[in-house]
Structure 1
Amino acid sequence: MTLETYSLVLHGQRVRLREYRPAADTCDEAVVLVHGIAGSAETWQPVLDRCPALGRRVLALDLPGHGGSDAPRADYGLGAMASIVRDVLAVSGVRHATVAGHSLGGGIAMQFAYQFPEMCDRLVLVGSAGLGTEVSPVLRAASLPGASAVLALAVNRATLALARLARGLGGSLKTETRELARHFGSLADPARRRAFLSIAGSLMDLRGQRASAAEKLYLAESVPLLLVWGARDPLIPVAHGRRTAALLPGSRLVVQENAKHFPHVADPDGFCLLLNEFLTGTEPARLTLDDVAARLAGDAKPPAGKLSSG
């Protein structure tokens, strides 16, 4: 078994990737882990460290504009990000995947299931974006004019050095607080700050999240779905997970009472146990385009005042 970190070059841009391969890989699918806004594959390291318990191939990428991947002036929309996930899987020889997404990564995972249903075996959404309007005021403010200048003043080498000094004098941060600080610390880099603002501006405004997968969730009714949320999530409320579970009765919602926005970091052992139970206890969806077309056709209705000819 091996855990490797390396880079791929896709469309002329470098994409950083962490991959775990079991000694005997007899499964024809992989698990792909997708991080959230301002994050990187490093947020999944506690899960990657426990991959032997899963017994299958696991990939975690740094999305464009994040971590060790390049940050081009490019499209950072959900569709473009889902396409990058598909491209990484394709060149890695993966044809079927359980897609696990945290925060923004959850929105990308749902977009992946919508764009590439034949590749999506299961969905795992962790404190996921894209399931409701409500979101932290801090994230809503990132869509305001002038946010770039404010962030440049608030997060830079000098302020990060002061924060490190303060931590050194006052003791270590709690696990989730440290993870959140690392996410926001990445915005000291101008290219990553630009990517963050591009994503925030495309998905949010002052009223909250604009992008929603709710109206398309019926297309994923046959895809096994695990929702994991922190009960005290200050960024995306657990109510989003509860509403989604109610819309999809076949899904499973697990609320971790002592976790906030990073349940996979707060309790990686518990998260990996849930993930393993989900992988072994469900059958992969293996949808075809015909399956999706049939579901779309069943939902389609003629315009008001017109009758169908069939």
Structure 2
Amino acid sequence: MSSHPVRRLVIHGHERAYVQAGSGPVLLLLHGLGCDHTTWDPVIDRLAEEFTVIAPDLLGHGQSAKPRADYSIGGYANAMRDLLTVLGVETCTVVGHSLGGGVAMQFAYQYPERTERMVLIAPGGIGPEVSPAIRAVTLPFFRQWMGLLTLPGLRHVNGTALRLLARSGLRATRDLGEVADIYDSFRDPAARAAIGHVVRACIDWRGQVITMADRAYLTAAMPMGVIWGSEDHVIPASHAEIARQIAPGAEVELVADAGHFPHRDHPEQVARLLLDFVRTTQPSTHDREDWRELLTYGPNLPATRERAGEWPLRPLPRATRSRASA
């Protein structure tokens, strides 16, 4: 259960659940696949001391509706725009974990004028690798198979086993407590159907289909932070190095002794990293002409301007940091 009261809105005919805490600039926290807003409980109170925190349940998850609907990454980004609009929020720093990281990236690309910064925690969309358990969701008859595995007696036994393994202290099993919660949520046929739609929209048998690599150059105009657990067995921590290579301006932090949920393994450290990043970066200021040029010329924009004699006069916009050592 959430430690914060759940609020509800109906948008496009579907109920959306979310929690809101604190005051000040807005942090939008987006959870991962099969999770809900409660994944952020360990860090919400600390973040809410300085910011307005909005943590929704994505459609098909938690207490939000689970209709037959658009569960694409772009569809989720649209839904976050609409939620913020209804709440009267013009701009925010978007923070996404796992699936939510992919949504955060898509939100930033689709709505740069509404995105001050983005912080990605073990996000999807950096490289193709992903755990076999997630790939299994794409297999035929997943819904029927999971329906059998979540029958009351079997669900209780399996869930208990997963939680006991999570408490064993073994690094390879550290995330199984969260996995047990996700597994328990699959007892709802509507949740199983929604998760199936989500996964098939971005993953196939070879791994993740959606990638930020072809658009990473756009982070030149927006502060980007990446946080990864060093012992992540769901989406490998090696993807953090890929993020560093394709987005050289990003600030990448590896959290030692943490799995796929570093904000739960080490909430104080992750909250501090988030707060430091926001405090020491200037919000992105969207300029339509600069954005048009970035889209037109892509990573070759500096060379294009230099050849045209414009580069010394009108430099490529960069996400800036106020920290002296940046």
Q: Same fold (TM over 0.5)?
A: yes
How far apart are 1:257 and its partner, in Å? 1.6
Q: Does 1:62 align with 2:57?
A: yes
Distance 2:135 2:22 in 1: 39
In the TM superposition, 1:26-105 aligns within 5 A as 29-53=25-49, 55-105=50-100
Partner of 2:124: 129
Distance 1:185 1:263 in 2: 21
Distance 1:218 1:168 in 2: 41
User: Secondary structure of the residue that 2:138 maps to in structure 1?
Assistant: coil
The answer to whether the 8 Å contact 2:159/2:180 transfers is: no
The answer to whether the 8 Å contact 1:36/1:105 transfers is: yes
The answer to whether the 8 Å contact 1:113/1:220 transfers is: no
Partner of 1:19: 20
- Cα 1:164/1:214, change in 2 over 3 Å: closer
- Cα 1:238/1:160, change in 2 over 3 Å: same
In the TM superposition, 1:254-293 aligns within 5 A as 254-293=253-292
In the TM superposition, 1:121-270 aligns within 5 A as 121-163=116-158, 176-270=175-269
> 1:12 corresponds to which letter in structure 2?
G
> 2:31 corresponds to which letter in structure 1?
H
TM-score where L is the length of structure 1: 0.89
How far apart are 1:114 and its partner, in Å? 0.9
How many residue pairs get aligned? The number is: 294
The answer to whether the 8 Å contact 1:102/1:126 transfers is: yes
The answer to whether the 8 Å contact 1:156/1:189 transfers is: no
The answer to whether the 8 Å contact 1:167/1:173 transfers is: no
How far apart are 1:188 and its partner, in Å? 1.3
Gaps of 5+ in 2: 301-326
Distance 1:181 1:130 in 2: 24
Higher relative contact order (CA 8 A, sep 6+): 1
Q: Deviations over 1:170-192 (max 9, x none)?
A: 99577743222112221111111
Distance 2:91 2:14 in 1: 24
Q: Deviations over 1:110-153 (max 9, x none)?
A: 00011111001111101100111111111112111122222112
Q: Deviations over 1:28-74 (max 9, x none)?
A: x3100000111100101111132344x11110000000000000100
The answer to whether the 8 Å contact 1:117/1:289 transfers is: no
Gaps of 5+ in 1: 302-310
User: Secondary structure of the residue that 1:142 maps to in structure 2?
Assistant: helix
> 2:46 corresponds to which letter in structure 1?
R
Runs of 4+ with >6 A deviation: 167-171
Partner of 2:322: none
Distance 2:225 2:299 in 1: 28
- Cα 1:271/1:197, change in 2 over 3 Å: same
The answer to whether the 8 Å contact 1:65/1:71 transfers is: yes
> 2:235 corresponds to which letter in structure 1?
I
- Percent identity over the alignment is 36
- Cα 1:169/1:277, change in 2 over 3 Å: closer
Distance 2:96 2:257 in 1: 20
The answer to whether the 8 Å contact 1:3/1:18 transfers is: yes
Partner of 2:8: 7
> 2:36 corresponds to which letter in structure 1?
S
Distance 2:165 2:277 in 1: 40
User: Secondary structure of the residue that 1:221 maps to in structure 2?
Assistant: helix
